[in-house]
Amino acid sequence: ISYTIAPGNYVSPEIVSQMATSITVVKEVPSLNIISIPDMLVNLIPVNTTQAQLDGNILAFVVLAIFVGVALLNMKEEDSKPMKDLAKSFQAFSLMVVDWAMKLAPFAVFGLLCSITIKIGFDAIFSMSMYVFTVISGLILLLCFYLVIVYFAAKIKPLDFLFKIREVQLMAFSTSSSAAVMPLSMKTAEDKLNIPTPISKFVIPLGATINMDGTALYQVCAAIFLTQLFGIELSLIELIILAMTTVGASIGAPSTPGVGIVILATILQGIGVPVEGIALILGVDRILDMCRTTINVTGDLTACLLMRKLTSFPKKSKIILLNDIKAS
């Protein structure tokens, strides 16, 4: 799509010169080290949980939660009950806060869009519109791919699926953070998609860390856009390496707003594109960040449906009915 539309050819030299004055902002972007697979496996076990939380290392918390869960399963019921009750209480608290945030989300989205327009102006937005159109087109194709999986894996019509997860998508769009949406995603998966609780509580936190397909797609489009802007030609091999690098760099990245720019800065250095070029896309990055986060959380819910299909796990309604029969 990026090569067909060639969004870099639509940006006027005047706008490039004007927006390039923001280079000082880019220099403040911290570098993101792409670690090897063995180092990544070692880092899965957090040495310090507080530091892992500050670094946004959600994958480490997922692994820690697995160990805690296995330990609780092997404990006596009277010993594990207090910790289980604490976890349930904290989840209820999180869902209550998310519910409040959902009521304020439409106003927050309106304010963000107004802020972007004030900062870079209508002329700059129109000049970068083809770049935005290219990224959003790719995200729509990725969404269609998810909808096909949902239809064949769960026999749910695309419009019905989108209607059921609309609150999750709106929350993701307004916060630009997969981590912030996790409680609502799990609630939606269990209540509206009939996903069993064990699947939702495993797949969604894991997906919030490693399922960054929308972010990886955005980074490839942004890198190609900047290569076109600076007149750098990429061979087919270099393009394949670029795609593989973006996917690898996205795995385990913090699911917080703006992290895509940090990853992109490292990727651009590897293909010879001046990192200062990020200044050209910072103005519209917030819009695209909201869009790609929406696709990321949609992919997490799609993965839940696919996992239920592959594992032949009974629907939540059937599990509840079975438990009621045992209780009676």
pTM: 0.65
- Most confident listed range (8-12, 87-91, 135-139): 135-139
- Most confident listed range (7-11, 45-49, 185-189, 257-261): 185-189
d(CA 140, CA 83): 42
Give the model's confidence band at 145: pLDDT under 50 very low, under 70 low, under 90 confident, else very high. very high
Q: How many CB atoms lie within 10 A of CB 81?
A: 12
Give the model's confidence band at 317: pLDDT under 50 very low, under 70 low, under 90 confident, else very high. very low
Residue type (1 letter), 103: K
pLDDT at 25: 40
Between residues 20 and 199, the one the model is more confident about: 199
Q: Give the up-direction half-sphere exposure of residue 99: CA atoms within 13 A in the CB hemisphere.
A: 8
d(CA 295, CA 44): 25
Buried b (16+ CB within 10 A) or exposed e, 101-117: beeebeeeeeebeeebe
Rg (CA), the chain: 21
pLDDT at 124: 60
Q: What is the arithmetic mean of pLDDT over 283-290? A: 80
pLDDT at 287: 82
Q: How many CB atoms lie within 10 A of CB 200?
A: 25
182: nearest Cα among 320, 61, 84: 61
pLDDT at 256: 57
Question: For residue 19, is pLDDT > 60?
Answer: no
pLDDT at 27: 40
Overall number of domains in the chain: 1
CATH number of domain containing 278: 1.10.3860.10
pLDDT at 28: 41
Between residues 24 and 166, the one the model is more confident about: 166
pLDDT at 92: 75
Token pair belonging to 41: 């496996």
pLDDT tens digits, residue range 241-266? 777 777 766 665 555 555 566 667 76
146: nearest Cα among 213, 84, 234, 201: 213
Q: Considering the chain, what is the average pLDDT of its residues?
A: 74
d(CA 182, CA 94): 10
Give the model's confidence band at 159: pLDDT under 50 very low, under 70 low, under 90 confident, else very high. very high
Q: How many CB atoms lie within 10 A of CB 197?
A: 12
Question: For residue 20, is pLDDT > 80?
Answer: no
pLDDT at 80: 85
Share of the chain above pLDDT 90, in %: 12
d(CA 158, CA 149): 10
Between residues 320 and 101, the one the model is more confident about: 101
pLDDT at 321: 41
H helix runs in the chain, sequence order = 2-5, 13-19, 23-26, 37-42, 49-54, 58-73, 77-127, 129-154, 158-164, 166-175, 178-191, 197-210, 213-230, 236-250, 259-270, 282-311, 316-327
Residue type (1 letter), 305: L
Give the model's confidence band at 16: pLDDT under 50 very low, under 70 low, under 90 confident, else very high. low
d(CA 293, CA 287): 10
Between residues 22 and 288, the one the model is more confident about: 288
Which residue segment(s) compose the domain that 71 sits in? 2-327
Give the model's confidence band at 147: pLDDT under 50 very low, under 70 low, under 90 confident, else very high. very high
Return all residues near 243 (Cβ < 8 A) that are at least 6 apart: 216, 220
Give the model's confidence band at 298: pLDDT under 50 very low, under 70 low, under 90 confident, else very high. very high
313 DSSP 8-state letter = P
- Most confident listed range (56-60, 115-119, 192-196): 192-196
pLDDT tens digits, residue range 87-132? 878 867 876 776 676 567 667 656 655 665 666 566 666 667 888 8
Residue type (1 letter), 100: W
d(CA 223, CA 40): 25
Which residue is it, tokens 């000049």? 127
